[in-house]
Amino acid sequence: MSYIFVLDACSIINILRIDTSEEFLTKWLSKENVKIPDIVIREVKDNYKKNNIDDDILDRVEKQINQLYACQVSKNDIDSYDENKMMDELISFSKHQKKLNGELYCTALSLIECKENDEDVLFITDDYPAQKEFEDYFTLHQIGHIADTVDLLLLIYHHSVEDVFTRNQLIMFLTLLKQRYAEKYNTLLKDCKDFADQLYNRRNKNDKQLGYKLSTIIEEFYKNPAESIENLCNIFLNIKNDNIKKLKYQLEHINEPPQIVNKVMRIEFALSNYKIYKIAQ
């Protein structure tokens, strides 16, 4: 396998946060040709603490962030390519309206690395709007591919011997990634679980059955968030209880899971139902 990997902030944060204490993912990437714009490293440092993070994971992530500087490419080096013309053309071509962000500089760096080294680039970003924004630029210049962390995990699996990276490890990382994006549902699920426990502890048989049904949906939530949200809505809308008005409102207005969650679920289904053909070792 011969790729130059260019990593965006959202994917770096996901990789660091789902990695194990043995640092399998970061150690794998450290053996590859990885390039990261310095603006991306700043974005990682500004955002890695967002959402809840356990202290042991925080300590590991902070240590690993410092290792990113070994892959750093300066903004000035990217800006100055082709006498500063390339960046202006990229912005014009992609109709980039936002500030000059990490995804933009990753795309520019991908072009530079591809053309200067005559190698395919794999730009890893979990920002799906950014993927759409720059995909035509990648096609026009035949730079390589835009992928996400799910694709990266599959790539590692396909190029690893089974005892180094097993199917169960792949599934574990996919589950952790899915849970990363479902963190915003955790408070809602806790409130639903508290109400389910109240029902289950009542003497009324129907209440107990409803409490058990709610608990089952909550336990299975991460397997299919969209379906679980729909099932919870259907149940709570038929419960007449003024104490759960806020909970009903939250369920009715919660957003659909992001695209990457749905992609993970499709891959999980495939892993459970089909043979996966790996690279011959």
pLDDT digits 0-9 by tens, 105-150: 999 999 999 999 999 999 999 999 999 999 999 999 999 999 999 9
8 Å CB contact between 65 and 16: yes
pLDDT (tens digit per residue) in 79-95? 999 988 999 999 999 99
The listed range with the strongest mean pLDDT (101-110, 158-167, 181-190) is 101-110
Which of these ranges, 44-53, 154-163, 250-259, 262-271, has the smallest mean pLDDT? 250-259
Average pLDDT over residues 3-15: 96
pLDDT (tens digit per residue) in 49-74? 887 777 888 889 988 999 999 999 99
Burial of 176 (0-12, 13-18, 19+ CB in 10 A): middle
8 Å CB contact between 190 and 205: no
Determine the Cα–Cα distance for residues 168 and 185; give it in Å rounded to an integer: 25
Reported pTM: 0.83
Find the DSSP H helices in 220-276.
225-236, 245-253, 259-273
- Of 179 and 137, the structure prediction assigns the larger pLDDT to 137
Provide CB contacts within 8 A for 139, sequence distance 6+: none
Confidence of residue 281 (pLDDT cuts 50, 70, 90): low
Determine the Cα–Cα distance for residues 136 and 131; give it in Å rounded to an integer: 9
Confidence of residue 199 (pLDDT cuts 50, 70, 90): confident
